[in-house]
Amino acid sequence: MAKLSAKKERFKNVAGRRVQKVLDDIESLAKCSNRSTYDYTDEEVRKMLRAINEKVTQLKIAFNSNSKSGKQTFEF
């Protein structure tokens, strides 16, 4: 029983930190929406959001099927 509890605590610690990092990074990315500082097209925004949504979908699949997938990179 102690082993399960240790795994649960490890998950909560690691996942908690990683989720907070993702949330912070999304907040930071939102700052790029400032048109007085940055210039971008609607297509670039759609491409960026599509990539993010695809990763969220892969995350959901990973937790539902407990499978592992290859790492992808993002480029404009």
Structural domain boundaries in the chain = 1-36, 40-76
pLDDT exceeds 70 at position 69? no
Question: For position 70, what pLDDT does the model report?
Answer: 61
- 58, 69 in Cβ contact below 8 A? yes
More confident residue, 74 or 67: 74
Question: For position 65, what pLDDT does the model report?
Answer: 84
Nearest CA-CA partner of 30 in 48, 18, 6: 48
